[in-house]
Amino acid sequence: MVALVTGAQQGIGRACALGLAAAGHDVAINWLDDRAAAEAVAEAVRAAGRQAVLVQGDVGAGAAACAAVVQKAIEDFGRIDVLVNNAGIFPRVDFLAMTEADWDQVLAVNLKGSAFCAQAAARAMVAAGIKGSIMNLSSSAVRGTPVGVHYSATKNGVVGITRSMALALAPHGIRVNAIAPGLTDTAQPRYGNSDAEVRAMGAALPLGRLGTPEDIAAMAVFLASPQAAWITGQVYHVNGGGYMP
């Protein structure tokens, strides 16, 4: 079994790559701008007894770039069974100050990138007769955030494309689901917040702590497994009770 994880050089993507490796997957590690970090993830995958390859690429650069990332993984491993669309950005900006360029950048990575990576992976799965699993990363920011109108739009959009892709790909046996992390201990919540502030926000959650990247990865591992064989088109909120839709 082969998994491709986008944005896997750090954070939730890294945890997903390692979790899937521990579950028996070889892993294609997509990275953007930190080869050393990506190499460290690859070394950890190999230490778990699985194969790893690095796939550099910017999924926000358009459909051709997304297809190239998927194709490189297939060239190295011969197939793709699992895609985790994890790559995403959240540049904070006040709505009244938001520019068209701000909007376009976030939509290009978070929504367009997810859609066209999924399309490329699904095309390969269909051609090979593989009944695979695709996971798209949404967010608890679907409920809105004052400094991320563009971000919230993309994460709500991820829910929409997940449901639609699940319907489109069900005849091929390909499952598509979304994972919506809450406040997680990564670099993201520290943009504009001190470590102490982030810890306090975690302590205020019903379960009393920040999430870890491994908490999110556990859901990805489950959705990639045979135990999730009858699950598609769903959105899983992994957030310590911080948002209960």
Give the active site residues.
Answer: 139, 151, 155
* Interatomic CA distance for residues 138 and 160, integer angstroms: 10
The torsion angle over the Cα atoms of residues 73, 164, 171 and 4, rounded to 10 degrees, is: 10
How many helices and strands in the chain, by DSSP H and E?
Answer: 8, 7
Taking a C-beta distance cutoff of 8 angstroms, is the pair 127, 172 a contact? Answer: no
User: In degrees rounded to 5, what are phi and psi of residue 79?
Assistant: -170, 170
* Interatomic CA distance for residues 226 and 173, integer angstroms: 12
